[in-house]
Chain A
């Protein structure tokens, strides 16, 4: 019967015609790395940042704004020294010796002295053999490129779900130092680029320059924020349903004053002194990026309106939760912040 074969042909033709529309769900295996390889690459980048001596000019451009800083990093044995000088806007100097950080604003003559606990989450996550990063990110190497006069290997870090952003990383071939990092949004668009415009690697270390600058604090009003380590559960809260891939890495109670002196507005400065209610800051990480969840008692005078903003890749969300005010900040898509806010709830006694 001639029409049976006609129908078969038509069906075959339709199937073939539909094939191009079948979404390519199978991940391309060419170039995707094993978990151990991924660990190796990222560890190398991390090591170089800690143990190499380098100085250069670093430029960050995001959301239409560009800012740059001259930075230097020295490593002598177990000690790390860092110096950073902002080149745009208000002058600001940051000096670091291991976990002590001095931030100086010469304009308002305010100096902030902090003990920053270097959260060991990243190397810890990797070295413990915990392949969390490989669980939520797919890392692939791309063709080599050249940044700031140095040959670089290029890595594409693609998120496996929509709760985080992707990255493109350029690491110096010789040393592994991160030369440039692009934060990629959900549509593959570049949300932020941070890169060295020029850098000298393996320079002669000058730790004394950093130490001496840290001692020169005359004429500065010194602010020392006191952080009290604690846990989310100890404060009576719990994250009922977390966001996949993210784990709590730190929790502190901190007064929210004095962290951002603004010499253009002395009234705001005075107000900051008054606002001494401690805020609970919990930090979650998926290995590459961080989300901070701030919880404080609700104050109708200050907490007027729920708001969500975006500055480059950094999203923020502020809203009321029962009798508390919650602020969530992170370099993640806004949906992730909303998920964090939704999952937070008071612990049942």
Chain B
């Protein structure tokens, strides 16, 4: 989204603060989005991390390809390790289906755990947002509208499962009722008993008294 240079400079500032651990909590999400969406952001991030490492220790300054070479060498060596805690005898190899790769033995178990750890980490960050104006009466429409807004920083919202099909349309009310005189009567009839609620007769009774005043 940041197309002009001022935005980009601001994004770089945020990434830099994030690397140093000095970023405000409410801005962290947008900084992570920059990293995710923008390849330039990712290379900036990589550069900052590298700078930090090199500043901290001369040993960490090395050829660019060294890390990648090390990781691939490590992966191939891990793949060759025999599986220590295979739950089934080797001939049935049930763990094979978990493996994203083509090898059917060896790396399956470890690979699956690494992938799982990755998913758990991502799940911790994923938030599903809903625009704050929508009142609690959620419909499948409202939820569908909310999903494209995942990228926005917002308080995390519990996922709601809604009944599809025979969902009555939600009419949002702002403290006053959408006019239906009969609904008014139902509400009055309901509040008659809510007056004797558990929390003490006057409390519920008064809530109904003042709420009725608002309805009119």
Which residues of chain A have a CB within 8 Å of any CB of chain B?
Answer: 3-4, 7, 10-11, 14, 17-18, 20-21, 42, 45-46, 48-50, 58-60, 62-69, 71, 73, 80, 82, 84, 86-90, 92, 94, 96, 114, 116, 118-119, 121-122, 125, 133, 167, 169, 177-178, 181, 185-187, 191-192, 194, 250, 254, 256-257, 259-260, 262, 264-265, 268, 271-272, 275, 281, 283, 285, 287-290, 292, 294, 302, 305-312, 314-319, 327, 329-331, 333-335, 338
* Chain A residue at minimum C-beta to C-beta distance from B213: A86
Sorted nearest first, the 4 A-B pairs with minimum C-beta distance are: A65-B175, A49-B200, A306-B168, A86-B213
Residue among A89, A191, A330 facing the most chain B CB atoms (10 A cut-off): A89
- Contact check, A89 vs B214: say whether CB atoms are below 8 A apart: yes
Is the beta-carbon distance between A294 and B189 smaller than 8 angstroms?
yes
A290's partner among B77, B176, B177, B190 (CB-CB below 8 A) is B190
Contacts of A49 in B (CB 8 A): 199-203
Q: Which of B102-128 contact A (CB under 8 A)?
A: 110, 113-114, 117, 120-121, 123-124
With A11-B113, A294-B189 known to touch, is A178 a contact of B216 (CB < 8 Å)?
Answer: no
Given contacts A21-B123, A262-B184, 9 further A-B contacts (CB under 8 A): A11-B113, A80-B201, A116-B193, A256-B185, A265-B181, A281-B190, A294-B186, A306-B168, A316-B183
A265 to chain B: which residues have CB within 8 Å? Answer: 181
Q: Return the chain A residue nearest B114 by Cβ.
A: A14
A17-B117, A58-B206, A309-B173 are known contacts. Are A288 and B136 too (CB-CB below 8 A)? no
Which B positions have Cβ atoms within 8 angstroms of A?
77-78, 81, 84, 110, 113-114, 117, 120-121, 123-124, 135-138, 155, 157-158, 160, 163, 166, 168-178, 180-190, 192-203, 205-207, 209-216
A330 with B137: in contact, given A178-B203, A305-B169, A311-B173 (CB under 8 Å)?
A: no
- Which residue of A is nearest B194, CB measured? A290
State the CA gap A58–B200 with chains docked (Å): 14
Q: How far is the CA of A314 from the CA of B190 in the complex (A)?
A: 10
7 contacts between A and B (CB under 8 A): A7-B78, A45-B200, A118-B201, A290-B197, A307-B180, A316-B183, A334-B138
Q: CB-CB < 8 A to A63: which residues of B?
A: 135, 173-175
Contact B176 A65 (CB under 8 A): yes
* Residues of chain A contacted by B78 (CB below 8 angstroms): 3, 7
| Docked-complex contact B196 and A311, CB < 8 angstroms | no
Nearest Cβ distance between residue B173 and chain A, in whole angstroms?
A: 5
Which residues of chain A have C-beta atoms less than 8 A from B209's C-beta?
Answer: 69, 71, 84, 86, 92, 94
Give how many A-B residue pairs fall within 8 Å (CB-CB): 247
Q: A116-B192, A260-B185, A310-B135 are in contact. Are A3 and B199 (CB under 8 A)?
A: no
Q: Complex formed: what's the CA distance from A60 to B203 in Å? A: 10
Give the distance in Å from the alpha carbon of A265 to the alpha carbon of B182 in the complex. Answer: 13
In the assembled complex, the Cα of A161 lies from the Cα of B102 at a distance in Å of 44
| A69 close to B206 (CB less than 8 A) | yes
Are B175 and A256 neighbours in the complex by a CB distance under 8 Å? no
- Is there contact, CB below 8 Å, between A292 and B168? no
A67 touches B211 (CB 8 A): yes
| A7-B78, A187-B157 given; A307·B168 CB < 8 A | yes
In contact, A338 and B163 (Cβ under 8 angstroms): yes
Q: Which residues of B contact A319 (CB under 8 A)?
A: 166, 168
Q: Which residues of A contact B201 (CB under 8 A)?
A: 46, 49-50, 80, 82, 118
CB-based contact B189/A88 at 8 Å? no
- Give A63 to B210 CA distance when docked, in angstroms: 14
| Nearest-CB residue, chain B, relative to A257 | B185
For the complex, what is the distance from the CA of A49 to the CA of B181, rounded to whole Å?
A: 32
B210 & A68 in contact (Cβ 8 Å cutoff): yes
Interface-central residue, B166, B181, B205, B214, by most chain A CB under 10 Å: B214
Determine how close the nearest CB of chain B comes to the CB of A327; give it in whole angstroms.
5
Q: By the criterion CB–CB under 8 Å, are B214 and A65 in contact?
A: yes
- A186→B136 contact, CB < 8 A: yes
Which chain B positions have C-beta within 8 A of A256?
182, 185-186, 189
How long is the Cα–Cα vector from A331 to B176 in the complex, in angstroms? 16
- Cβ contacts under 8 Å, B120 to chain A: 18, 21
Q: Which of B121, B192, B212 has the most CB of A within 10 A?
A: B192
Q: How far is A49 from B196 in the complex, measured between Cα atoms in Å? A: 11
Inter-subunit contact A169/B124 (CB<8 Å) = no
